[in-house]
Amino acid sequence: MKPRVYLETSVVSYLVGRLSRDVIVLGNQELMREWWASRRTEYDLFISEVVIGEVGIGDAEMARQRLELSADLPLLGVTEEAEGLAPLLLNGIVVISQTQRFAAPSRGHAELPGLIRPSSARRRS
């Protein structure tokens, strides 16, 4: 069984967005595009309804491309537990026990699978 991974909005945006002149953003874009091309098949990927809502905002053509890329990815529903965790994540105050639980591979859609952010896709030696 492949590890299950949740993709946040920035992953989809980096895959589709115009290349940035900001060297850090450009690095994230290149990293995510390389990961997508070479490693995504190693995982069962998921997104959420929230991601779909976010990638549909902005420049119409870019939004269309982001939505197209997202169309084949399974959706995770928003649970009460996830809604309660969201403010903690946004404020950066999630305790270790919660992050360990949610970072573990899930056994069902009610649990949040691993999270891929641009900074976590780097290869580790």
SS3 for 81-124 is: HHHHHHHHHHHCCCCHHHHHHHHCCCCCCCCCCEEECHHHCCCC
Is the residue at 125 inside a domain? no
Q: What is the CATH number of the domain that holds 15?
A: 3.40.50
Q: Is 114 left (phi over 0), alpha (psi -120 to 50) or beta?
A: beta
Across 12-86, where does the E strand assignment appear?
44-48, 75-76
What are the tokens at 18?
């115009």
Q: Does 105 fall in a domain?
A: yes
Full domain range(s) for residue 21: 4-120
45 located within any domain: yes
Residues 88-125 have pLDDT tens digits of 777 766 544 444 444 434 434 444 445 555 544 444 43
Q: Are the C-beta atoms of 63 and 56 separated by less than 8 Å?
A: yes
What's the whole-number average pLDDT of the chain? 78
pLDDT 10s digits, 38-74 = 999 999 999 988 899 999 999 999 999 999 999 999 9
Domain count of the chain? 1
3-class DSSP state of 75: strand
Would residue 46 count as lying in a domain?
yes
What pLDDT does residue 80 have? 83
Q: Is 76 helix (H, G, I), strand (E, B) or coil?
A: strand
